[in-house]
Structure 1
C-alpha cells in the first residue's frame, strides 16, 4: 500500500469517526470505525464498522448507509483533496473472529489446567 493511500485511509477514518460521533445519535450502541480500505484509484472506500452490542450491527450499518450522502458532503467540504472516495459502510468481521478465537483459546487453557 502506498504512503499516500495509507494517509488517505487514516484521514478518512478520523474524519468519518468525528462526523458519526457528532451527527448521529447512537445512544443504544457503541459505534467504531475500525479501519478504512480505499481503492488505489480512490474511487471508493470501504469503512469497516464495529458495533456493540453486535445485535445492532445490521441496523446501524443500514442507518449509516442511508446517511452516507450527508457524510460524503461533509467529507467533501472538510478535505482539500480530489478525488474523494465514495464511502461504503460494511460490517467488520475481524473483531468477532478475534473474540471467537480468544474464546477457543480460553477453552483450551481450561482443558489443559484440568488435565
Structure 2
C-alpha cells in the first residue's frame, strides 16, 4: 500500500474512532484525545494512541475503551465496510507528558 493511501486510511479511522468514543466513552471529569492511529501494512491491526487527563484516570479510561472494543469494531465495519475489520490495540500516548517534563527542565535552567 502506498504511503498516501495509508495516511488517508489512518485519517479516516482516526475520525471514526474519535467520533465513536465521544459518544460512547465519557467519564465525568476525564478528558481524552485520540492523538494518532496507525494501521499495519497488511491492514489487520489498528493501533489507537490516546492521551488521557488527569493521569490518575488513565487505567479507568483504558478499561472503558477495552470494554467497548467489540462495539467499536462493529461501528468501523458499518462506517467503511472494509474487507476485514482490523484488530484494535489501544496505547497511551505519553508524548505530551514528555513535552511538559522537558519544558519544566528548560524553565529550571533559565
Query: What is the TM-score normalised by the length of structure 1?
Result: 0.87
What's the offset of the Cα at 1:78?
0.5
Residues paired across the two proteins, number: 109
The structure whose Rg is larger is 1
Q: Is contact 2:14-2:37 (8 Å) kept?
A: yes
Partner in structure 2 of residue 92 of structure 1: 93
Partner in structure 1 of residue 48 of structure 2: 47
What's the offset of the Cα at 1:83?
3.3
Unmatched 5+ stretches in structure 1:
110-115
Unmatched 5+ stretches in structure 2:
none
Partner in structure 2 of residue 37 of structure 1: 38
In structure 2, distance between residues paired with 1:60 and 1:52: 10
Task: Name the SS for the 2:105 alignment partner.
Answer: helix
In structure 1, distance between residues paired with 2:55 and 2:83: 35
Query: What is the TM-score normalised by the length of structure 2?
Result: 0.91
Give the RMSD, CA atoms, in angstroms: 1.3
In structure 2, distance between residues paired with 1:51 and 1:107: 26
- Equivalent positions of 1:1-115 (< 5 A) are 2-109=3-110
1:30-66: CA deviations, max 9, x gaps?
Answer: 0110001111111101100101111111211121012
